[in-house]
Structure 1
Amino acid sequence: METTAGRAHGVPELNQPTPALLRRALAAGWQDFRAAPAFGLLVSTLCLLAGWGMTALTVWAGHTFWLVLGVFGFPLIAPFAALGTYEVSRLRGLGEAPSIGRVFRALWTEGGRHLPMLCALMMVMLLFWFFLGHMIFALFLGLKPMTNIMSSGEVFLSPNGLMMLAFGTAVGAGFALFLFSICVIGLPLLLDREVDCITATARSVRVVMAHPAIMLGWAAFIAVLLVLAMLPAFLGLLVVLPWLGHASWHIYAGLKAE
């Protein structure tokens, strides 16, 4: 049964993910980016400018530790930033021509459905990560006279600094794993089908739990690629962010049995 918006009801049957599927998704994502780069470049450019702005603000304020939290927190909301690329790939899969205006209109219509709930959760998790990251810094290095990582690198190399980095990385990985588990299938599913947020995220978690090796491998690949893309002054995001967004849609589309 179809909705008035043309979406099918319910969760589709999903096949088992395989390494071959991931490779096909990356190839198909690259083809989508090359064929319709406008929206992906628009969003990645905004992320690039946001990164530059955050860097300038933290350097000006002399608290560049917040930049570290921002860099490692970005993978938490990367699926939200790449959401429009899902729609581009969806339209291309239907044989329709995507445009920036059409993608924005499609995303605007999602405001009355369940997708904003999941996007809001990502933003809350990011803000909580900033709060928790600052608490971790205070716990391990609160008595250190450090406000600028560019002039206080030896503090990070102290025993307490190394423990802070290890503990903070573990906590951040936990945040990222949670959001990845609910979003890797949940976000494209909400965009594609008429289904509620709880059902979509639960189905996403079930896929990750049923196939941990392949799905966590994909999560690690995304995280490493995003971090590497941010190292050269965030410039790598211009290509990596839309490419991964398109590829993520193709993973979901490739898993559908119908």
Structure 2
Amino acid sequence: MVRDHIGQATHLDDAAERQIPVVNKIEIADIVDALKLGMKDFRRQPLYGLFFGCFFAIGGNMIVLMSFFYNQSHLSYPLAVGFWLIGPFIAVGLYEVSRRLEKNEELSWRGVLGIMWDQHRRELAWMAFVVIFILLMWMFEVRLLLALFLGFSGFSTFGEFLQVMFTTPQGFMFLVVGNVVGALISLILFSLTVVSFPLLLDRSYDFITAMITSVKVVLASPVVMIGWGWAITLILLASMAPAFIGLIVTLPILGHTTWHLYRKAVRFEDKPKLN
């Protein structure tokens, strides 16, 4: 059993030996209710949400600025979009806040950050590796499509890159194909992670079981869950527009919402006894 830095038991690590995760069907009403609960958690403990939201917003701006600094401004858009693919991992602290609020457990910075640090010894670290691997695939796909449609041409300014994108057939095809492939990669990542991170924080299952459970959640309610995935994408894109500032609020709300959606989507039942 894992304990936080103030000595309290926080997770039922023996649950994987006694119970199995079972998927519930999700309705639109469940999404709306989870969103309301997520907003409630943010209002109850706004400092935690603002802290993680600011961390994400600053990180996004740094990545974009570095792309300009190294004369790779044409990669700023895919880098910015790719950066929020790791949102589920960064939101682990938000899941922990919601978990403690739900159970009326003591909430402290030491406890929340300590639990996040403890994950490097647990299966959640492997999920982080999966996310990073998909992020690398995302960037490889961008460079490959740039080479296929635009050759290895360099762009001296971001404005020049935009001009090529919107005034040439090759640039337009790059945008269309790039966004379609990117959407497919995002869908795969969403399916693998929509409940796997909160599940691994809450219970001591292996990361393969967590990913399978996450995919089952999407398959059990494909229209609602994919619709929710698109809603998240649109919210995050809108939040990124003004220098990532919107993420300071939207990221923590979505993080808290994800925890409550996990609680609605997954239940645990005792394993059937073998004769």
2:235 aligned residue (198, 210, 225):
225
Asked if structure 1 preserves the Cα contact closer than 8 Å seen for 2:48 and 2:94, the reply is: yes
Q: Does 1:63 align with 2:72?
A: yes
Asked if structure 1 preserves the Cα contact closer than 8 Å seen for 2:23 and 2:216, the reply is: no
Tell me which moved more, 56-65 or 16-25: 56-65
Question: For residues 173 and 88 of structure 1, do their structure 2 counterparts lie closer, same or farther at Cα, with a shift above 3 Å needed?
Answer: same
Tell me, in whole angstroms, the C-alpha distance in 2 between the residues paired with 1:123 and 1:112. 17
The residue aligned with 2:171 is 161
2:24 alignment partner AA? N
Per-residue CA deviations over 1:188-221 (Å, capped at 9, x if unaligned) read 1111112111111111111211211011011001
Residues 1-258 of structure 1: pairs in structure 2 closer than 5 A? 6-7=11-12, 8-9=15-16, 10-142=19-151, 144=153, 146-157=155-166, 158-257=168-267
Could you list the runs of 5+ residues in structure 2 that have no partner in the other structure?
3-8, 269-275
2:199 alignment partner AA? L
Tell me, in whole angstroms, the C-alpha distance in 2 between the residues paired with 1:201 and 1:90. 20
Superposition CA RMSD, Å: 1.9
Tell me, in whole angstroms, the C-alpha distance in 1 between the residues paired with 2:30 and 2:104. 21
SS at match of 2:158: coil
Q: CA deviation at 1:166?
A: 0.9
Tell me, in whole angstroms, the C-alpha distance in 1 between the residues paired with 2:189 and 2:256. 18
Per-residue CA deviations over 1:40-89 (Å, capped at 9, x if unaligned) read 22222122212222222222333211111112213321111212101110
Asked if structure 2 preserves the Cα contact closer than 8 Å seen for 1:91 and 1:98, the reply is: yes
Tell me, in whole angstroms, the C-alpha distance in 2 between the residues paired with 1:107 and 1:58. 29
Tell me which moved more, 129-138 or 157-166: 129-138
Question: For residues 44 and 85 of structure 1, do their structure 2 counterparts lie closer, same or farther at Cα, with a shift above 3 Å needed?
Answer: same
Question: For residues 143 and 123 of structure 1, do their structure 2 counterparts lie closer, same or farther at Cα, with a shift above 3 Å needed?
Answer: closer
Tell me, in whole angstroms, the C-alpha distance in 1 between the residues paired with 2:86 and 2:11. 28
Aligned residues: 257
Query: TM-score, with normalisation over the residues of structure 2?
Result: 0.87
2:33 alignment partner AA? R
Asked if structure 2 preserves the Cα contact closer than 8 Å seen for 1:229 and 1:240, the reply is: yes
Asked if structure 2 preserves the Cα contact closer than 8 Å seen for 1:13 and 1:256, the reply is: yes
The residue aligned with 2:272 is none
Tell me, in whole angstroms, the C-alpha distance in 2 between the residues paired with 1:58 and 1:108. 29
Asked if structure 1 preserves the Cα contact closer than 8 Å seen for 2:23 and 2:213, the reply is: no
Question: For residues 165 and 93 of structure 1, do their structure 2 counterparts lie closer, same or farther at Cα, with a shift above 3 Å needed?
Answer: same
Tell me, in whole angstroms, the C-alpha distance in 2 between the residues paired with 1:143 and 1:251. 44
2:21 alignment partner AA? P
Per-residue CA deviations over 1:146-199 (Å, capped at 9, x if unaligned) read 343223422001111111011111111111111111111211111111211111
Tell me, in whole angstroms, the C-alpha distance in 2 between the residues paired with 1:146 and 1:114. 42
Query: TM-score, with normalisation over the residues of structure 1?
Result: 0.93
Tell me, in whole angstroms, the C-alpha distance in 2 between the residues paired with 1:77 and 1:147. 29
Q: CA deviation at 1:257?
A: 4.2
Tell me, in whole angstroms, the C-alpha distance in 1 between the residues paired with 2:187 and 2:49. 24
